[in-house]
């Protein structure tokens, strides 16, 4: 076991609620509890080694954010002991400690001071912080005049330039959009490559599994699973599927009348790869809503994209979702070892074929992802590319007709 950098020993967090305001005052005066507790996190014992990347998964209200806030020091433990050896920086509520009346420059120094940096250390980091945030002309203005994007960029830049030993990330591996999103993703990857300890909480199970060394599954404030990502994520996915079977949302139809998938507004950014168009054909017929026969038709997904030369070639992923929203199947160029190419105009195209489309009867929806070269950072997600209404002549059960053979002796 490597040197532990974080140790939680019976750490719990409960939030107090009081029937009357005066009860809180009386509790402080007398030291006698007069509140009702809501346990956000049950006593938790955990040891994290230096350099580990820990993923935290769980439904909303499972205690993930509370755990991250405890580690970040923005809430205090109710019981137990928490020891952290090293500087913690959190990408939680970016800009939360900014003083609106102070300039960007002063807020850099203030936030760094809160993080425990000395003045010379902040002096040293200042230029890099400003350069990364990309707002040098605004540093002398009060942050109350900043747009939310500028605030977030400055806060992210500070959080990742204070030389933390432990980085806490809530939900997103990147912040902002366009070029900054890619840069922020690269910055986080630098931390991972430098052997820093990372706590990453996300609903994106794919990213958690791809990035983390160990996964912690929280449910109702308790650890429900802990260990190797593949094992815990599988167990958690099954749990989610059981839950969604009870409260399954109705499948949403691909409502657009256009035959090509609509491209979101974000794709107008010309500095990062973007999806130009997605077409779905069944036996060569282009449409948004298809009706097809199981195991009989050829389904083709054509993704036209644009990728600038200054970034590594992106990858493409296609996901098929069932009517209940669960992932049924997926295919990715990274996973299949396909290298994309672009022409002189930096545009390219890739076609994914599903011969004799093997899914059984049901309603399916296709989604397309344009991802970074590692398949982690999402440049663009195109939802509901097409709807496939699969009919079936045979009497097979389930959702897929697996390639199979019978041997009779």
Residue pointed to by tokens 């160029």: 333
Q: Characterize 199-231 residue by residue with b for buried, 16 or more Cβ atoms within 10 angstroms of its Cβ, and e for exposed.
A: bbbbebbbbbbebbebbbbbbebebbbeeebee
Contacts of 94 (CB under 8 A, 6+ apart): 151, 152, 155, 156, 159, 175
Is residue 39 within 8 A of residue 77, CB to CB? The reply is no
List % helix, strand, coil for the chain (3-state, nearest 5): 25, 35, 40
Other CB atoms within a 10 A radius of the CB of residue 71 amount to 23
CB nearer to other proteins: give 98 or 357. 98
| 122 lies in the site for other proteins, by CB under 8 A | yes
| 31 lies in the site for other proteins, by CB under 8 A | yes
Near other proteins in 60-99, by CB under 8 A? 72-76, 88, 90, 93, 96-97, 99
Applying CB under 8 A, among 12, 14, 65, 115 the residue interacting with other proteins is 115
Q: What is the DSSP track for 361-385?
A: SEEEEEEEEEE-TTS-SEEEEEEEE
| 24 lies in the site for other proteins, by CB under 8 A | yes
CB nearer to other proteins: give 31 or 249. 31
What counts of helices (H) and strands (E) characterise the chain? Answer: 8, 18
Encoded tokens for 382? 């195109």
Q: Quick one: angle between helices 119-133 and 148-161, nearest 10?
A: 130
Least CB distance to other proteins at residue 29 (A): 7
Least CB distance to other proteins at residue 10 (A): 18
Least CB distance to other proteins at residue 36 (A): 13
| 131 lies in the site for other proteins, by CB under 8 A | no
CB nearer to other proteins: give 116 or 312. 116
Question: What are the phi and psi torsion angles at 52 (to 5°)?
Answer: -75, 145
Applying CB under 8 A, among 106, 219, 226, 259 the residue interacting with other proteins is 106
Least CB distance to other proteins at residue 112 (A): 8
| 113 lies in the site for other proteins, by CB under 8 A | yes
Least CB distance to other proteins at residue 69 (A): 9
Number of residues that bind other proteins (CB under 8 A): 36
| 33 lies in the site for other proteins, by CB under 8 A | no
CB nearer to other proteins: give 159 or 376. 159
Binding site for other proteins (CB under 8 A): 15-16, 21, 24-25, 27-29, 31, 72-76, 88, 90, 93, 96-97, 99-102, 106, 109-119, 122
């Amino acid at each position: 076991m490597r040197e532990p950098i974080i140790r939680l020993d019976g750490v719990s967090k409960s939030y107090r609620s009081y029937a009357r305001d005066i009860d809180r005052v009386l509790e402080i005066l007398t030291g006698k509890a007069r509140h009702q507790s809501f346990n956000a996190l049950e006593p938790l014992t955990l040891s994290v080694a230096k350099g580990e990347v820990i993923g935290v998964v769980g439904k909303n209200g499972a205690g993930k954010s509370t755990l991250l806030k405890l580690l970040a020091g923005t809430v205090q433990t109710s019981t137990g002991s928490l020891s952290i050896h090293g500087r913690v920086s959190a990408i939680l509520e970016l800009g939360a400690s900014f003083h609106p009346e102070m300039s960007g420059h002063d807020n850099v120094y203030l936030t760094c001071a809160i993080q425990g940096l000395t003045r010379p250390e902040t002096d040293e980091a200042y230029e890099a912080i400003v350069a990364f945030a990309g707002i040098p002309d605004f540093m002398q203005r009060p942050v109350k005049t900043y747009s939310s994007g500028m605030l977030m960029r400055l806060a992210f830049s500070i959080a990742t330039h204070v030389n933390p030993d432990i980085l806490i990330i809530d939900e997103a591996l990147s912040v902002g959009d366009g070029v900054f999103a890619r840069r922020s993703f690269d910055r986080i990857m630098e931390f991972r490559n430098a052997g820093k300890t990372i706590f990453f909480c996300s609903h994106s199970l794919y990213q958690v599994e791809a990035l983390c060394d160990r996964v912690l599954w929280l449910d109702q404030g308790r650890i429900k699973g802990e260990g190797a990502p593949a094992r815990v994520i599988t167990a958690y996915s099954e749990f989610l599927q059981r839950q969604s079977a009870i409260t399954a949302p109705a499948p949403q139809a691909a409502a657009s009348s256009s035959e090509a998938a609509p491209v979101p507004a974000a794709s107008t950014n010309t500095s990062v790869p973007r999806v130009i168009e997605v077409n779905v054909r069944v036996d060569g017929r282009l449409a948004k809503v298809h009706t097809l026969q199981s195991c009989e038709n050829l389904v083709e997904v054509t993704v036209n994209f644009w990728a600038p030369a200054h970034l590594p070639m992106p990858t493409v992923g296609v996901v098929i979702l069932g009517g209940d929203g669960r992932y049924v199947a997926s295919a990715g160029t990274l996973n299949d070892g396909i290298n994309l190419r672009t022409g002189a105009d930096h545009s390219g195209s890739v076609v994914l074929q599903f011969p004799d489309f093997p899914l059984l009867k049901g309603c399916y929806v296709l989604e397309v992802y344009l991802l970074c070269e590692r398949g982690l950072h999402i440049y663009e997600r195109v939802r509901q590319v097409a709807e496939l209404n699969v009919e079936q002549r045979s009497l097979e059960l389930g959702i897929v007709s697996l390639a199979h053979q019978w041997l009779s002796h």
